[in-house]
Structure 1
């Protein structure tokens, strides 16, 4: 087998003999721009050839033109940049089917929600746009009480005045709660007599047991699971627009990060009907795992069927640091959501139940992705891993989603146990100042410590947690490189990484997280032709300009699935 190299670029690996016989002619050859391979052995190239949905060759333009036949399409990048398709490190794909019919209540720059009045205006605009009738739900997403100018949480009373005839709720930016108006609270049967469940938060009116509007964690999750949804037929019609949210961001592999049985069935039906044109990896939620496994035994996991793969099982350990429901070993500096003193947050499940959940997943030999934000939550998982894994040092590819406030001693255990963190460096921007108030500088500056983890040789993913924040992979990269807050504070200068290191988290290391590094994540011979074309090269622009780079085209297995033009 012959390997030809020019100036450090791989040209062909075992393909020239078949080329000579005339059997290996490229479908397309990309050239004329920067090509970032994300392959440490050969980091750049002049051209990439693809055939039958896979990468045929990577190297010099002169050599790859030898693969040109009568039907080969030569694609001149005209100075643009070609990279591997982006891989989503964690999001909630199923939400993409509904957000287009909901009000964007994010704070600027991601949305208009700079104040309670602005959030209400966004809800009213959605009500008018979709002609929502009296008595029907009006829903918003992205509410962040820390980022609005009013200096207080939005309440049911605020929403009641504006929407006296409709149940309304606005999902908290963490996706772990919502602010509801009185009609919604009534529909959800939340009253002054409702007891706050363990691991839950029901914010009450001052000097009263009357709900004020905000429900979090275990008080919200059962409601969220049983919210009224559009019909299955209507949801099936939304799969294209949902996937286009991802494709427009250059994503060719997406995650559905906490899937309930009805949604598993919906995804499978859409896949079977040929509706999926990006890869979707689904992780059924632990509380419903037994029900999902009745129809989908463990041996069916880990295999794509029509672009859908059941990847493993999702467990949620704690809440969100911005909502002060993440579980820590030390108290919040600002107390709890209800004014609790010495508040450390709470786990979502009791310890014995949590340990049994982890044991169940490992016993089934399924991949575990586990939501842990606070260091106490991470302690719980590491202890459960040590007790439940048959070989704690085996490459189980368990993933700690967020790992926001991981400690240095815990990172060393990630190394020892081959655990993958999927970080959330966008928190530096969206919630950096909030974390400084809640947790102090020492902990906040070590938020999502990507540089430390990569130095230790850990494969790290990075994500948006859509729709906690918008799907925007270039903003993910920007946040890892700059770590700037809204106000311009550098949240942990020592944890900033290079643009290439940041790109790896959404390409090759993202693929590693899914056990797909042999077929995705870099431009290498034999891998899927999952590609993205950008208007500028993230490795060459000013680091602060990375967020302004535009996705021009997204290609899945050789076929264009998104084009800006």
Structure 2
């Protein structure tokens, strides 16, 4: 049997993320797997055959394909049909007028049918000049009959115009559910436009979905957004039962550019289990797998809905004084969720931003895992942005993985200083402290909360610079290699796939990314400017710049 390679890469830096073999001058692959990593001359002599293609990287850098530890893949299917209103530099939404202008431009160029809803994403109320935020009347002027939903940057809510309020049945008589926010006009019960948290959940679930004829094309387009960022394994971070079936249908129809790992939402777990028993989790089918279960405990710190043990320095989103955020569910309910998931033997992803929410999660873990608190269940504390040092220590004791969100240091760092104070903001997503304790953190974009940009994720972890140019927690900076590990080998470990992905080692999948520069060699301040040249999934190029 020949061991001739299909392809040998050489002519550039090769960053393996393999501590036993950190760099190489050539990599060989055959049939979608890595067959050799090492010296160029040795590999060419041993693995080049008559049909082997020798690819010259021409000074570019080869790394393992990036694994996305947490985002919302399902949203990528519709982003191409939505309006980007991120604040600069990620989008045009600098103020209310700019947001409305973007919505008008989308309407005028997309020939929106009467009654068809326009959806935008990325609205950041913390960055509106002079605190002048978006209200339903701002949207009603240009869209009196067209429903408009402007998604909050946290993905935990939206501003709706009057037509959208009517579409979703929200009016002055609508009762705000526990753990929810429906902002009202001052002195009345009339909704002002902003709906968040548990009040937003039924709206999110009822959002228009692609038709079955659109599912495959939209799924491929969404996967290309990930591939363009060098991602070969994407994450779907709170999957509704219907979306699980959509993802499997689209994959069956050929939407298989990259791997997708989905985490069904706890409130729909029983429905998912009817068609996908727990024993089927963890196994890919047409490059889609159910990785575990998702529980959401609080909101977002920038939206002032994250749950803290101490009050925000400003009032709550609906004017609440001494506001700490709130838990949408009782501790007993959360305990029950954890026990159900642990008894099924499934990994658990827990959305928890504020330290009080993390306390609730740790208490639920102690309840559900009482037989063995330290068992490796691949329990992941997603975001963990305002984790305390004592809580990090318990992560270590309980074998809990923190999946941090360092892009917040840039996009919302200035807001966090204003809302939570400098000391707490400086310990935001404390990767340095976690690594020094012996934890193996991952790091994510939470797309569409921030853009899909893995080099920006690395840059934010290494530099921790805010949008306003301030340093947010210099002592929590990590090295470029540590930042890369958070989106490669550590993420592979999070998914129980470290034997197949996350480093360039013989026998692993040939999931690769080519960058135009080496993140370990450039000025750390310029890491965010590195561009993806090519993304390769199991030996096949799925994206080329």
Counterpart check, 1:491 vs 2:469: no
The residue that corresponds to 1:59 in the other structure is 38
Q: Determine which of 18, 21, 24 is the counterpart of 1:45.
A: 24
Structure 2 counterparts to residues 240-389 of structure 1, below 5 A: 240-389=220-369
CA distance in 1, matches of 2:503, 2:79: 31
CA distance in 2 between partners of 1:435 and 1:207 (Å): 29
Does the Cα contact within 8 Å between 2:331 and 2:364 map onto a contact in 1? no
Q: Is the 8 A contact 1:319 1:348 kept in 2?
A: no
SS of 2:381's partner is strand
Contact 2:236 2:260 in 1 (8 A): yes
8 Å CA contact 2:216, 2:254 repeated in 1:
no
Which residues of structure 2 form unaligned runs of 5+?
none
The answer to whether 1:180 aligns with 2:160 is: yes
Q: Which residue of 2 aligns with 1:12?
A: none
Q: 1:513 aligns with which of 474, 490, 494?
A: 494
For residues 328-380 of structure 1, the C-alpha deviation after alignment (integer angstroms, 9 at most, x for no partner) is 11111112111111111011222221111111111111110010000011011
How many residues align structurally?
A: 543
Confirm whether residue 219 of structure 1 aligns to residue 199 of structure 2.
yes
Distance 1:98 1:294 in 2: 27
Alpha carbon RMSD of aligned pairs, Å? Answer: 0.9
| Cα pair 1:554 1:561 within 8 Å, conserved | yes
TM-score in terms of structure 2 length: 0.99
Q: Does the 8 A contact of 1:34 with 1:46 survive in 2?
A: yes
Q: What secondary structure sits across from 1:162 in the alignment?
A: coil
Q: Is the 8 A contact 1:101 1:126 kept in 2?
A: no
Runs of 4+ in structure 1 off by over 6 angstroms are: none
* Aligned equivalents of 1:451, 1:385: Cα separation in 2: 24
* CA distance, structure 1, for counterparts of residue 96 and residue 13 of structure 2: 45
Secondary structure of the 2:193 match is strand
Q: Aligned partners of 1:163, 1:80: CA distance in 2, in Å?
A: 48
Structure-to-structure mapping, 1:468-507, within 5 angstroms: 468-507=449-488
Q: Among residues 437, 442, 462, which one is paired with 1:456 in the alignment?
A: 437
Residue in structure 2 matching 1:417, options 392, 398, 405 = 398
Q: After TM superposition, list the pairs within 5 Å mapping 1:201-220 onto structure 2.
A: 201-220=181-200
Deviation at 1:150, TM superposition (A): 4.6
Does 388-397 or 87-96 show the bigger shift?
A: 388-397
What's 1:108 paired with?
Answer: 88
1:23 offset after TM fit, Å? 2.1
Please say if 1:28 is aligned against 2:7: yes
Q: Does 1:467 align with 2:434?
A: no
The equivalent of 2:128 in structure 1 is: 148
Pick one of 376, 380, 400 that aligns with 2:381.
400
Structure 2 distance, partners of 1:456, 1:26, is 41
Secondary structure of the corresponding residue to residue 131 of structure 2: coil
Q: Deviations over 1:443-501 (max 9, x none)?
A: 11000000110111211111000101110000000000010100011100000111111
1:533 aligns with 2:533: no
TM-score normalised by L of structure 1: 0.95
Find the residue that maps to 2:141 and give its secondary structure.
helix
Task: Provide the C-alpha distance between the structure 2 equivalents of 1:97 and 1:149, rounded to a whole number of angstroms.
Answer: 32
Separation in structure 2 between the aligned mates of residue 176 and residue 374 of structure 1, nearest angstrom? 15
Aligned mates of 1:124, 1:475 — CA distance in 2: 30
By how many angstroms is 1:274 displaced?
2.7
- Helix, strand or coil for the counterpart of 2:322? coil
Task: Please report how far the alpha carbon of residue 163 of structure 1 lies from its aligned counterpart in structure 2 after TM superposition.
Answer: 1.0
Q: What is the aligned partner in structure 2 of residue 561 from structure 1?
A: 542
Deviation of 1:153 after TM superposition, in Å, equals: 1.9
Alpha-carbon contact 2:216-2:251 (below 8 Å) kept = no
Partner of 1:82: 62
Residues 84-130 of structure 1 show CA distances to partners (whole Å, capped at 9, x for unaligned) of: 00010100111111010100000000000001010011111111222
Report if aligned partners of 1:450, 1:460 keep a CA contact under 8 Å in 2.
Answer: yes
Q: Secondary structure at the match of 1:384?
A: helix
Q: Is the 8 A contact 1:361 1:367 kept in 2?
A: yes
